[in-house]
Structure 1
Amino acid sequence: MKILAINGSHRKGKNTAALLRTVLEEAAAQGATTELLELTDYNIKLCTSCNKCLGKPQCSITDDDMVIVGEKLLAAEGIVLGSPVYWSNVTTLMKNFMDRTRYLHMTQNLLAGKVGAAITNAGLRHGGQEPTLRIMDYFMQAHGIHVVDSRDPAGPLTYAGVTGSLMEDFKEDKVIWRRNATDDELTVASCKQIGRTMVKLIQQLNG
């Protein structure tokens, strides 16, 4: 069982990567093989809207790293997307990645049946996390991926997605900041639950 996490942050190895690693570590503890892919390490050109993928599941751009990323997507049974919030949206790195997966979707959903999840984080407590999460969730749903959330069936109702924040509190007209996203206990617990839920669903689907 392979679970692939894709980090759309322009800051390699920082908060979004830490949250993704939390998901992967929990999945690995449940027996999964995991990999964290940093989009900053890959040269992925912009979609040219040539529409070659409307006729067959191929992209006309073959001289960049999307070929490698596409192979990793196809080989994985689980896919976790992570992006910080940029104006209530995903980053340009993540959006470009999404656009370039078009060849995996137009003639047939080549990623259909896989298990997916998404995480996001922002500086502010209400900094656009929910619409950013919905964008990634919808992207995976359009690919036919089974999207899981972070709710623990046996635990209290908190929130059905990972929406981290560096803003811890507000007292005496001052913002109290967390040092990093993993200082938020709820966010960390939600990431771990996603890892467990993904592994469990993959096992169920594999019968």
Structure 2
Amino acid sequence: MKIIAVNGSHRKGKNTALMLNTVLEEAAAQGAAVELLELSDYNIKHCLSCNKCLGRPQCSITDDDMAGIAEKLLEADGIVLGSPVYWANVTALMKNFMDRTRYMHMTQNMLAGKVGAAVTIAGLRNGGQEMALRMMEFFLTAQGLLVVDPRGQEGPIMYGAAAGSLLADVQDGKILWRKSIMEDEAAILACRQLGRNMVNLISKLKK
């Protein structure tokens, strides 16, 4: 079992990566092989809108790193996306990655049947996390993946999503900021549950 995480943050190794690594660490504890892809490490050119992929499951751009990333996605049983919120949406890095997987979707859903999930973080408590998650989860669903959420199946609903915030509290009119997403206990617990849920569903699908 292999689970790939794709980080759309421009800041490598920071808060979004911490959330994704928390998901992966929990999945690894359940026996999965895991890998984190930092999109900032890769050269991914923009989609040319040449529409050649409308007739064949192949991209016309062959001189960048997207083919290698796509190979990893095809080999994985689970894919978890992560992006900080930029104007109530995903980053340009994440959106460009999504655009370049168009050829994996137009003639056939090449990623169909895999398990997907998404995490996000914003500065504010209501800073657009739901919209960013909706974008990533819609992408995963359109690609044919089965999307899981961070609900624990043996208990009540505790986390609506794996969505974090750096705003900790307001005291006497002064905003208190978290130094790291690791201080957002609810978000981290949700990420851990997400990792367990991904492994559980993949295991069921493999039986």
TM range (shorter): over 0.9
Q: State the shift of 1:161 in Å.
A: 1.2
Within 5 Å, give how 1:38-117 maps onto structure 2.
Answer: 38-117=38-117
Q: State the shift of 1:172 in Å.
A: 0.5
Q: State the shift of 1:84 in Å.
A: 0.1
Q: State the shift of 1:147 in Å.
A: 0.2
Counterpart for residue 122 of structure 1:
122
The CA distance in 2 between the partners of 1:107 and 1:203, in whole Å, is 28
State the Cα deviation string for residues 63-98 of structure 1 (Å, max 9, x = none).
000010000110000000000000000000000000
Structure 2 segments unaligned to the other structure (5+ residues): none
The CA distance in 2 between the partners of 1:6 and 1:119, in whole Å, is 10
SS of 1:103 mapped into structure 2: helix
The CA distance in 1 between the partners of 2:132 and 2:40, in whole Å, is 19
| Percent identity (aligned) | 66
Q: Normalized against structure 2, the TM-score is what? A: 0.99
The CA distance in 2 between the partners of 1:136 and 1:130, in whole Å, is 10
Q: State the shift of 1:159 in Å.
A: 2.8
Letter paired with 2:200: K
Counterpart for residue 161 of structure 1:
161
State the Cα deviation string for residues 76-126 of structure 1 (Å, max 9, x = none).
000000000000000000000000000100000000000000000011111
Q: State the shift of 1:60 in Å.
A: 0.1
CA RMSD of aligned residues (A): 0.6
The answer to whether the 8 Å contact 2:159/2:186 transfers is no
Letter paired with 1:130: E
The CA distance in 2 between the partners of 1:124 and 1:96, in whole Å, is 25
The CA distance in 1 between the partners of 2:4 and 2:160, in whole Å, is 21
Of residues 150-159 and 103-112 in structure 1, the stretch that sits farther from structure 2 once superposed is: 150-159
Structure 1 segments unaligned to the other structure (5+ residues): none
Letter paired with 1:73: L
Counterpart for residue 137 of structure 1:
137
SS of 1:120 mapped into structure 2: strand
Within 5 Å, give how 1:13-52 maps onto structure 2.
Answer: 13-52=13-52
The answer to whether the 8 Å contact 2:3/2:78 transfers is yes
The CA distance in 2 between the partners of 1:34 and 1:110, in whole Å, is 20
Of residues 60-69 and 151-160 in structure 1, the stretch that sits farther from structure 2 once superposed is: 151-160
Letter paired with 2:203: Q
The CA distance in 1 between the partners of 2:94 and 2:181, in whole Å, is 19
Q: State the shift of 1:182 in Å.
A: 1.2
Q: State the shift of 1:153 in Å.
A: 1.5
Letter paired with 1:41: D
Q: State the shift of 1:158 in Å.
A: 2.3
The CA distance in 1 between the partners of 2:124 and 2:39, in whole Å, is 24
SS of 2:120 mapped into structure 1: strand
The CA distance in 2 between the partners of 1:25 and 1:159, in whole Å, is 19
1:188 equivalent in alignment to 2:162: no
The list of structure 1 runs, each at least 4 consecutive aligned residues, that deviate by more than 4 angstroms after superposition, is none
The CA distance in 2 between the partners of 1:4 and 1:79, in whole Å, is 5
Q: Normalized against structure 1, the TM-score is what? A: 0.99
